[in-house]
Amino acid sequence: MISEIVLTLVLGSSPATQRSAQPLVSATGTAYLSCTTWTGKAWTAPTGRSARTPIMVSPKGFRAYAEVKVVASDGSCENTTTIYVASRAGRKFKAIYSKTGGGNGIRLIGWSPTGEKLLAEVNTWEYETDTGYTHIPVLYDASTDSAKEILELNQALLRHFGTNCDFDDSLRSWRNGEQVLVKISRPTEDDSYEQHFCVEHSSLFVFDLRDKSLHLYERPQTK
């Protein structure tokens, strides 16, 4: 079973995998924590491991971190990604979001300027397949003490660029309390399939969390 992972990652036969152009899986990083990694000469044996992000403190004192745990059993691997939040220093952390099944990892983007919302990007992939990587924005709102996946971002990107377009996307930062910046860039070229490029240079877009709109980011003019 693990041999299929090796073939998938070494040969890179999947358009989806090439299109994402993501870093290789990691033995330590929370974004792409994997049960088996490339040493430069060979793949390691499947093994369970875990990693966690540093604690992020909001302007209002909320604290958050994320942890990824990988379980290896009978040649198969499964990840669980969890976000933990505490109301302030000294308070107990509690789980407010979890993603389980297949490969998954996380990047914490940061707290909003108001200090009440936490933005994260969850990466998912399937072990033993060539389905590539996907990215899911996750938003925690302290006012409701709840977290949800923002699936509307991907829908907005498809509406803007069309379904017949190869591009990479990644969350960058908050723009203000209700808008986030998304980086769009040209993917790595891949001769194994016919690519359709519509992005020549990297650019920033603004995604509005209220009305789910997407538009090109225009930097303030300087004198």
**50 and 67 Cβ atoms separated by less than 8 Å:** yes
**What is the structure's pLDDT at 1?**
40
The rounded percent of the chain whose pLDDT value lies above 70 is 81
**97 and 147 Cβ atoms separated by less than 8 Å:** yes
**What is the structure's pLDDT at 157?**
93
Average pLDDT, the chain: 84
**Residue pLDDT, tens place only, 169-220:** 899 999 999 999 999 987 666 555 556 778 778 899 999 999 999 999 976 5
**Residue pLDDT, tens place only, 29-53:** 999 999 988 777 887 889 999 999 9
Q: Which amino acid is present at 56?
A: M
CA nearest neighbour of 29 among 85, 111, 113, 103:
103
- CA within 13 Å, CB half, 130: 15
